[in-house]
Amino acid sequence: MRKFRILLITLTMAGWGNVHAQRNAAPSAPPTPPVEKLPVGSRALNIDSAVITHAEVTIGGVRVPYDATAGAMPVWDEEGKPVAGVFYTYYERTDVKDRAARPLVISFNGGPGTPSVWMEIGYTGPRRLNIDDEGFPIQPYGVKENPNSILDVADIVYLDPVNTGFSRAVSKDIPTSRFFGVNEDIKYLAQWIATFVSRKNRWASPKFLIGESYGTTRASGLALELQEAQWMYLNGVVLVSPTELGIERSEFVKASLRVPYYAATAWYHKALPADLQKKDLTEMLPEVEDFTVNELIPALAKGGFLEEAKKKELAVKMSRYTGLSERFLLQSNLIVPANFFWKELLRDKGFTVGRLDSRYRGLDMQDAGEGPDYNAELNSWNHAFMPAMNVYLREELHYKTDLQYYLFGPVRPWNNQNDHTGENLRQAIAENPFMHLLIQSGYYDGACDYFNAKYSLWQLDPSGKLKDRLHWEGYRSGHMMYLRKPDLASSTENLRKFIKASLPKPGEPAKY
């Protein structure tokens, strides 16, 4: 049974009595600003506060003791005034003697508008939500030990950007435009991360970023912003289910790159011809990938001048790979809208397929229509994650508050202008010989599909000089591939290998 001990309880926090606590810090650590006391029952965040509990988890048969800190730290403006509080949870292994050699992982999710709940209790944290082996919700809700956590090899901090989780601006008068945008988000979080690293005395530690979905846009931008504005150099960046990272591609290229994902989904639902269906997924997909790159994209580049015979030939092949009719493919000029695919593939069976994970099936009011009524997978995930995180934060980590936990927070409008995060990442890797990149994708992810992720990796560095430090991995699930038990085991093990491989040998210089 998991045991906790609350180490320090000193000051009343917002809500039912959160506390401010600091572990034994070195004399050189930045002083903590005074904490504003808030009345019991307040729904405002105490922006500088923490609760520390102690626990253990068994990873790979080894018992790992750790401190878990749940708290908030301020975001300051240019004049040093607090404008927001960012909520975080920090897991630090306690039987480590050399903290300088201990890797620190900084992790977050995306949206934009979601907290780090998915990564924390779904993937790499020491506690994991109750779900079945394929990732579907079960009751009772709650969490259990995560024997696949990466806490054995690295300490981890999960942060929630403003208006996600418990993170909030200090008042409604603070303009949201300073937080809600590609580059705005990157700038203030880089400053926050630098403050966190200073307070926790982790400047000497090797550092890694792990972002998921829109969090990959954030991580790619942060890699350069931390380097150039905070003078913090990373050892590695992990992009889980990455976005397009601001790497431009034409609409027909973008649409073509989805075809291998369509093939994977059709294979899973047994909608392909028998000769393809009898092959294993990873044996079948290279054929579709080759077709996409060497036939479909060059043909669609001709637009309306593509020969009719060639168009029909391509429709036959695409029908074979996607499970869709030749008639539809010709009517749509060989470009398949994803929304239509999710509705059409299993229409005759009365089901839709999920957007973020096409293994999930949904039920619509009527079989007619051009897209699903709802995202089957997302509702399933919300079903599992929201109760579990509330139980975990309030009952196990003892962070008591009346604040609503934003699973999807209000962050609109979001400024998507000047998204050059892919180029930012390339430059950061080029400037830092120690930095490595790992991309993890699920074959059944239709939002950030795996072949688009491969394409981004290919286009990240046109020179090819960095490719030895760029890596991609695929898994037999969707956007959150770690929800499937076999993929959780393999993906976390690959994270361990990546972290260890990204650490330089003692005395090895960072140079080309």
The pLDDT of residue 41 is: 56
Among 189, 246, 249, 268, residue whose Cα is nearest residue 422: 246
The pLDDT of residue 36 is: 41
The pLDDT of residue 43 is: 81
Q: Are 160 and 86 in contact (CB under 8 A)?
A: yes
The pLDDT of residue 165 is: 98
pLDDT tens column, 291-300: 999 999 999 9
The pLDDT of residue 94 is: 98
The DSSP element (H or E) to which 190 belongs, if any, is: helix 182-199
172: CB partners within 8 A, 6+ apart: none
The pLDDT of residue 24 is: 34
The pLDDT of residue 22 is: 36
Per-residue pLDDT of the chain (512 residues; tens, 9 = 90+): 444 444 333 333 333 333 333 333 333 334 444 444 444 556 889 999 999 999 999 999 999 999 999 999 999 999 999 999 999 999 999 999 999 999 999 999 999 999 999 999 999 999 999 999 999 999 999 999 999 999 999 999 999 999 999 999 999 999 999 999 999 999 999 999 999 999 999 999 999 999 999 999 999 999 999 999 999 999 999 999 999 999 999 999 999 999 999 999 999 999 999 999 999 999 999 999 999 999 999 999 999 999 999 999 999 999 999 999 999 999 999 999 999 999 999 999 999 999 999 999 999 999 999 999 999 999 999 999 999 999 999 999 999 999 999 999 999 999 999 999 999 999 999 999 999 999 999 999 999 999 999 999 999 999 999 999 999 999 999 999 999 999 999 999 999 999 999 999 999 999 99
pLDDT tens column, 299-351: 999 999 999 999 999 999 999 999 999 999 999 999 999 999 999 999 999 99
The two structure tokens encoding residue 482: 């770690």
Q: What is the rounded CA–CA span in Å between residue 245 and residue 507? A: 34
Q: Are 90 and 69 in contact (CB under 8 A)?
A: yes
CA atoms within 13 A on the CB side of 439: 32
pLDDT tens column, 231-253: 999 999 999 999 999 999 999 99
Grouping H, G, I as helix, E, B as strand and the rest as coil, residue 132 is: coil
Query: Phi then psi for 223, rounded to 5 degrees?
Result: -55, -40
Amino acid at 453: A
The two structure tokens encoding residue 510: 């960072």
The alpha carbon torsion through 386, 391, 396, 398 (nearest 10 deg) reads 100
Q: What is the rounded CA–CA span in Å between residue 428 and residue 431? A: 5
Q: What is the rounded CA–CA span in Å between residue 478 and residue 279? A: 20
**β-strand pairing of 49-59 with 62-76:** antiparallel
pLDDT tens column, 118-136: 999 999 999 999 999 999 9
The two structure tokens encoding residue 108: 């977050």
